[in-house]
Each structure stands twice: as C-alpha cells, then as structure tokens.
Amino acid sequence: MIKVAIVGLGFGAEFIPIYQRHPDAELVAICQRDRKKLEQLGNHFGIGKRFSDYKQLLRDPDIDLVHINTPIPDHGWMSIAALEAGKHVMCTVPMATSLEECKKIVQLVKKTGLRYMMAETVVYAREFLYVRDLVKRGELGKVQFLQASHQQDMDGWPNYWPGLPPMHYATHCVGPCLALERGEAEYVSCFGSGTIRKELIKKYRSPFAVETCHIKLRNSDVTARIYRSLFDTARQYRESFDVYGSKQSFEWPLVEGESPVLHTAKRPEHEIPARVTVPDFAHLLPEPIRRFTTKGVYDSDDNQHLSFTQGAGHGGSHPHLAHEMLMALKDDRDPYPNAVESANITGVGILAHESALAGGKIMKLPTWTLRAAKKPRRKAVAKKKAAGRAKK
C-alpha cells in the first residue's frame, strides 16, 4: 500500500475519497493551514493524522507520497522540500513559477531516484482520451495542426491571481498539445493583446488581456497554437483542444453543454461536420474509484468545488491522475508527465510570457526540459557497421 498525504484541502479535498477507495493506496494524513477546516475534513473522512505545519508533515516517516494542491506560488518550494525529505511528489499545475524552481525539481528527481508528476488534468480528461484513441487507431490520419485555449474570468479568486500573466497558467493548453503523441516543445513565440485594468497590472507588471503562443514541436513538422485570458475578456469558461488531421479533425464545442464536432474529409460539404458524444473512460480505472469521473466529493451542490461547477470536474480526470501516480510507484516507472516533461510543459508558459514582453521573440526551451536522445544498442551499432563494411 502506498501511503499518501494530501496537502491543501480546497481542490485537494476532491482526492480524499479517491485515495481512500483506491486498492493500492492508504491516505494517512492531510495538511491544511486553516485548523478549523483541517479538523472538519479530518472528522468527516476519518483521517487521524492532521498537520497544519507542512515541514512537520515531511518529517513523518510513514508517508511515501505527498500530493500538493496549494496556491500556485507554493508549488515549487513545496515540491523541492518534499523531494529533499525523501517523498515522492504529485503536484497540481503549474510545476512552479520559475525555470529555476523547475530545474531544481528535475535535478532532485535525477539525484534521488524519487518520482515526480505534475497533475495536469486535461491530459487525463475524457475528451483528450477520446482524441488520443482516434489518433492511435489512425482515424484522424496524419496530425497536421493542434490548438488549445483556456479562457476564464478570475475576478474574485485568491489574492495571488489578480494580474497574473495569462501564460503563467498555461499548462491546460500546453499539456494536451504535447501529450497527444508524447511530444516536446522546442521553442515558442508569443504575442500579447489588449490591456487589463491598471490596478491589475501592478503586481506582475503584465499588461496583456490575452496571450497567444505558437509552439514548435521538437522532431516534428507540427506546430501548436495556444491562447489564454484571465481578466477583462468576455468569455464563458472554456478549456478547449482541437486536433486537425488529414482524414478527420476534432473540434471542442464553443459553448459548455454542447457536443464536440468531428469533421470527416471528402464528404459532401454539409456532411463533413457531425456532433459526437464523448464516452467516459471510467473503465480504465479500478472499480472502487470509477464513480469519481462524474461525481465530486460531496453530494450537495452547495459544496461542489469550482472544478465541478466550472469545467465539469476537469473531464473526469481526478481519479485518473491519482491512479497514474500510484501505478507508476507500484510498477517502478515514471508517471506521465514526469519531472522533465512537466518542466517542458510549464516552461512553455513561462517563456511564452517572456516572449510576449519582448514582442514575440523566439524563446528556446532549455535542454534540461528535453528528453535525452536514446543511445543505440551496442548490437545494433555493431550490425550497422558490419553491414557498411560488407557494402564496401
């Protein structure tokens, strides 16, 4: 049994019953600065170990995995501290707020052999899993272009949100574009558009209402376009992902509640688009946690987390995220995305904002965010050399 501690009980509370019901996990502790909320949830779910001090939690030898669900500015240092304390880490997005913190996490994972996963919801959402299946079966043909968006009105959210550069929280856009075929971003170019209110600009010195970025995928002829907005742009909440193939193309619905559209080439024009129903993928999970693809922690709508009132529970991804990390630990393998892949995904957003401030300047992803090229096996190399000599 993998012994888990959840840190941060806003969004993090959604994972409590998932770990409690997962056949390979034991939820041994929760951590929350608000003592009243900590005791309330601890009593409700029957959790004995309760910490209001994160550093004290890390000293507990009974914890294998720390699942971090705290505010964005805390992701980097908390992940670093957990790895230094000998704990595996799953952390909600983004990985960190600077490339320096991302690099430190990558270095620690390499040094310690511990596992790290950035819990990017979109790459385990039912819509993404549906498109990934279409690609695997060859139904889309050759993938020609990718695009994704994340638009949301963040007025009224916690105090670190006002004025946040749109691309600093871009992983919901970047993730699916890279994850579809396990690609990597090589370089980016981004433009800012519009201007947010003056009082919002002060904290991060970021004026843009919208940021639009092009991503060049490494070792691929495909590029991706992503766009983000957080303030002063009228739009219903939307996390979208479009994939354009030579045979078929998938487009996310424009309005919440509609069905996505699948376009099929070489049909009469009016028959090209068709609405499709995306199935749930709960069958990929252990039976005790399948219910959490469509249902949150609480039965009452009054207690539903924003991830369910906005965005339909992140496409049913929550149990998939927990299951992926647990199975990676059980099977002694890297989860997806691992530390290097998470740094590449997060790094796109950080560098995209720098590009926007520089008028669209091309920014290359650091080499430490790229997977190392696989070395050819000795037998294969020897065989190739022998073939070359024979030809001569």
Residue ranges of domains in the chain = 2-119, 122-310+333-369
Q: What is the pLDDT of residues 155-171, one digit of tens each?
A: 998 889 999 999 999 99
- How far is CA 297 from each of CA 46, 65, 306, 381, rounded to the nearest angstrom? 14, 21, 12, 54
Average pLDDT score, the chain = 93
**What is the reported pLDDT for 105?**
98
**What is the reported pLDDT for 376?**
54
Q: Which CATH superfamily is domain 122-310+333-369 in?
A: Dihydrodipicolinate Reductase; domain 2 (3.30.360.10)
Rounded to a whole number, what is the distance in angstroms from the first to the last CA of the chain? 59
Going by C-alpha positions, the residue among 111, 128, 110, 117 that lies closest to residue 173 is: 128
Helix H or strand E segment including 7 = strand 2-7
Spatial CB neighbours of 24, under 8 Å, sequence gap ≥ 6:
1, 2, 326, 327, 330
| pLDDT above 60 for 320 | yes
**What is the reported pLDDT for 383?**
59
Could you tell me if 195 and 209 are in contact, meaning their C-beta atoms sit under 8 angstroms apart?
yes
Structure tokens at 148: 């994704």
**What is the reported pLDDT for 9?**
95
| pLDDT above 70 for 379 | no
Global pTM value: 0.92
Distance, CA of 132 to CA of 336 (rounded, Å): 14
Q: What is the pLDDT of residues 108-151, one digit of tens each?
A: 999 999 999 999 999 999 999 999 999 999 999 999 999 999 99
| pLDDT above 90 for 74 | yes
Q: What is the pLDDT of residues 328-374, one digit of tens each?
A: 999 999 999 999 999 999 999 999 999 999 999 999 999 999 998 65
Place of tokens 């030809």: 391
| pLDDT above 70 for 284 | yes
In words, the CATH class of domain 2-119 is: alpha beta
| pLDDT above 50 for 300 | no
